[in-house]
Structure 1
Amino acid sequence: MASRTSHTHESAQQLKEDLHHLTQTIEELVNATADDSRSNIKELRERAEKRLRDTRDRLEARGERLYGETRDTLTHQADACDRYVHDNPWTSIGIGAAMGVVIGMLIGRR
């Protein structure tokens, strides 16, 4: 669990750095357009486009990785729950009945 938290922190830090670099490049581009020197604008525009592509690619990769990790975790938890119910059917029935009573009492209080 600690490694997952560390990994999430590193991903967030990398995202923060990517967005900072992208913002910095866009600010340079905006400042250069006020100067109106054509060669400078072209160079900054190319850098901004490259950073934008790189940032988008990283974000897509992180999103896909996060989706995969979440899917795997949920599948693992659902399998564990299914095994528990099959291994302990009477306990599962008792837990379900107790939850039903508690929910019924909460709804009945309204």
Structure 2
Amino acid sequence: MASRTPNTDATTQQLKDDLHHLSRTVEELVSATADDSRSNIKELRERAEQRLKDTRERLEARGERLYGEARDTVTHQADACDRYVHENPWTSIGIGAAVGMVIGMLIGRR
């Protein structure tokens, strides 16, 4: 399992901060509705909508970036595996045969 990178930790912290700010704004909106002050409600609603929009955009951007990083990592690993098999065909055949025997033995025990 891969260890967490400083970039991942920063992303996680930013997400926590975004959600904290959003929840605080929503709490303010709920408190303001108790006062029933129309101008105050409108201002807080606009702030809440803006923070929600900003948070959604950040989450979408992070999701796209994480997807791209995962895709690049998988592609790199598949290329490395392909290169190894082409450079060491007999070793690859031996590994495949050993794995097949183990799986066959496990299935045969049932």
Q: What CA distance in whole angstroms lies between the structure 1 residues aligned with 2:49 and 2:29?
A: 11
Q: How many residues align?
A: 109
- 1:55-107 per-residue CA deviation (whole Å, 9 max, x = no partner) reads 00000000000000000000000000000000000000000000000111111
Q: What CA distance in whole angstroms lies between the structure 2 residues aligned with 1:106 and 1:31?
A: 63
2:66 equivalent to 1:59: no
How far 1:50 moved relative to its partner?
A: 0.5
Q: Which one has the bigger helix percentage?
A: 1
Taking only aligned residues, the RMSD between alpha carbons, in angstroms, comes to 1.2
- Find the counterpart in structure 1 of residue 88 from structure 2: 88
Q: What CA distance in whole angstroms lies between the structure 2 residues aligned with 1:24 and 1:107?
A: 56
Structure 1 stretches of at least 4 aligned residues deviating more than 6 Å after TM superposition: none
- Find the counterpart in structure 2 of residue 103 from structure 1: 103
**Structure 1 stretches lacking a partner, 5+ long:** none
**Structure 2 stretches lacking a partner, 5+ long:** none
Q: What CA distance in whole angstroms lies between the structure 1 residues aligned with 2:103 and 2:34?
A: 65
2:5 equivalent to 1:5: yes
Q: Which amino acid is the alignment partner of residue 72 of structure 2?
A: D
